[in-house]
Amino acid sequence: MNNLRPEETIALSDRYLMRTYTRAPVAPVRGAGARLWDAGGKEYLDFTAGIAVCSLGHCHPRVVEAIRQQAARLMHCSNLYYIEQQARLAALLAEHSGLERVFFCNSGAEAVEGAIKLARKWGKIHKGKESYEIITAFNSFHGRTLACITATGQLKYQKGFEPLPRGFRYVPFNDLAALEEAVNDHTCAVMLEPVQGEGGINVAGRDYLRGVRELCDRAGLLLIFDEVQCGMGRTGRLFAHQRYDVKPDVMTLAKALGGGFPIGALLAREEVARAFEPGDHASTFGGNPLACAAGLAALQAILEEGLAANAARMGEYLRKRLWGLASRYPFVKEVRGLGLMVGIELTEPGAPFVERCREKGLLINCVNGYVLRLVPPLTITEREVDEAAGVLDEVFKEAIKEKEGEARH
Ligand SMILES: *Cc1c(COP(=O)(O)O)cnc(C)c1O
């Protein structure tokens, strides 16, 4: 099949797709490692990695081969029956997380939706039928279904979609006292991202997460970690909570879980998972052979190629390079993150910087208006980090020059 020219893809998309996305004029047709190419041959260094999805880089050979082989053998099989790849991926996830049971779905929102249902069912059984409230954090992001936008502590995702389901309450992130105060007779769970992604790359404090765990134990609440973005090696350990030595009762995964292929998962401790009985929850495509073969190959690659350790190393190197820049540009307020989940907070809107980086062949994006988000593949090398830092340096330098020009006029 011949590819459309980038302009043709863009025109066709603008004509026929719903206007749910603000897209940059980039139309990649091929990817390898941290690089993307459009049909005209223009190359990009991809520090968005499909928003933390392509953690093994684009088209990792092990994932490609697993998909190729599985696609030719068996793509789909209903959960009416047993599925080998699903069982093997569940076993490997359980072994490495210490959470004994797994439910597979197809996306992050579905994983969170499942976590909400599990927490409510668990609450009903163990705390009474008025126990259904889940406390989440401001600036969190938990997906786009009605329950998930309600769990998300940001008004902008909820506006226009009312009435929203009941049973959620929000507290400031990294504020243990506020959380303690919010707990009441209706609370059944607390749900947090150990590192908030869409909310601006906000890293939970160590004492905070430990305090939250103790509070949940004391009050008899479930602790749910949404690791859809920060999981699967990105923060320098396979799961972000392992960097804190704080174990959740329930965890959600998606994004990088399939190495670029869509799959989500909900994990829980045995006693918690028991709240779900046959018939309580299901997904037609959840845990299909193809997605699980991709997930299995991706997880094995992350483990065998030491990618979490590389994320820790390269993340530190990237932040060091960025701090070097920060000191020279007054509009860079802070560089923060954990592993290869890195944010550059600016004192002005980030969108123009994203656009300039793109023009110079570097793909990044902006979250929460002011934070440039860098979530490159975990396979990234020092040279690629240098290249990205070089582009950012140029872009920042140009911005300074322009400001000086404006000041003179
Ligand atoms: C992306 C994201 C989701 C939603 O995942 P989808 O696959 O887009 O539904 C949920 N939680 C977090 C933390 C995310 O980053």
Query: For ligand 1, is residue 115 a contact (CB within 6 Å)?
Result: no
Question: What is the Å distance from ligand 1's center to 374 Cα?
Answer: 16
Tens digit of each residue's pLDDT (9 = 90 or more) over 186-226? 999 999 999 999 999 999 999 999 999 999 999 999 999 99
Query: For ligand 1, is residue 107 a contact (CB within 6 Å)?
Result: yes
Atom of ligand 1 nearest to the CA of 144: 9
Closest CA to 228 of 257, 248, 262: 257
Which bin fits 380, alpha (ψ -120 to 50), beta or left (φ > 0)? beta
The amino acid present at 140, given as its one-letter code, is S
Share of the chain above pLDDT 70, in %: 100
- Supply the residues annotated as catalytic: 141, 226, 255
Distance in angstroms (rounded) separating the CA atoms of residues 254 and 80: 23
Question: What is the Å distance from ligand 1's center to 109 Cα?
Answer: 6
Candidates 112, 116, 202, 371: which one to mutate for ligand 1, based on the most atoms within 8 Å of Cβ?
112
Question: What is the Å distance from ligand 1's center to 338 Cα?
Answer: 18
Token code pair at residue 43 = 């190359």
Query: For ligand 1, is residue 226 a contact (CB within 6 Å)?
Result: yes
Question: Hey, what domains does the chain have and what are their CATH numbers?
Answer: 6-60+306-408 (3.90.1150.10), 74-304 (3.40.640.10)
Candidates 105, 110, 142, 234: which one to mutate for ligand 1, based on the most atoms within 8 Å of Cβ?
142
Query: For ligand 1, is residue 193 a contact (CB within 6 Å)?
Result: yes
Tens digit of each residue's pLDDT (9 = 90 or more) over 273-315? 999 999 999 999 999 999 999 999 999 999 999 999 999 999 9
C-alpha dihedral (186, 188, 190, 191), degrees to nearest 10: -110
Closest CA to 122 of 278, 252, 271: 271
Does the pLDDT at position 352 exceed 80?
Answer: yes
Question: What is the Å distance from ligand 1's center to 310 Cα?
Answer: 24
Question: What is the Å distance from ligand 1's center to 108 Cα?
Answer: 4
Distance in angstroms (rounded) separating the CA atoms of residues 57 and 53: 9
Query: For ligand 1, is residue 113 a contact (CB within 6 Å)?
Result: no
Question: What is the Å distance from ligand 1's center to 264 Cα?
Answer: 9
Question: What is the Å distance from ligand 1's center to 141 Cα?
Answer: 7
Candidates 55, 191, 229: which one to mutate for ligand 1, based on the most atoms within 8 Å of Cβ?
229
Distance in angstroms (rounded) separating the CA atoms of residues 276 and 253: 18
Atom of ligand 1 nearest to the CA of 197: 15
Residues pairing with 101 in the sheet: 268
Query: For ligand 1, is residue 143 a contact (CB within 6 Å)?
Result: yes
Distance in angstroms (rounded) separating the CA atoms of residues 74 and 234: 30
Query: For ligand 1, is residue 234 a contact (CB within 6 Å)?
Result: no
Tens digit of each residue's pLDDT (9 = 90 or more) over 40-96? 999 999 999 999 999 999 999 999 999 999 999 999 999 999 999 999 999 999 999
Query: For ligand 1, is residue 112 a contact (CB within 6 Å)?
Result: yes
Decide which of 83 and 404 is more confident.
Answer: 83
Token code pair at residue 63 = 């994932």
Per-residue pLDDT band at 101 (split at 50, 70, 90): very high
Tens digit of each residue's pLDDT (9 = 90 or more) over 146-197? 999 999 999 999 999 999 999 999 999 999 999 999 999 999 999 999 999 9
Tens digit of each residue's pLDDT (9 = 90 or more) over 246-283? 999 999 999 999 999 999 999 999 999 999 999 999 99
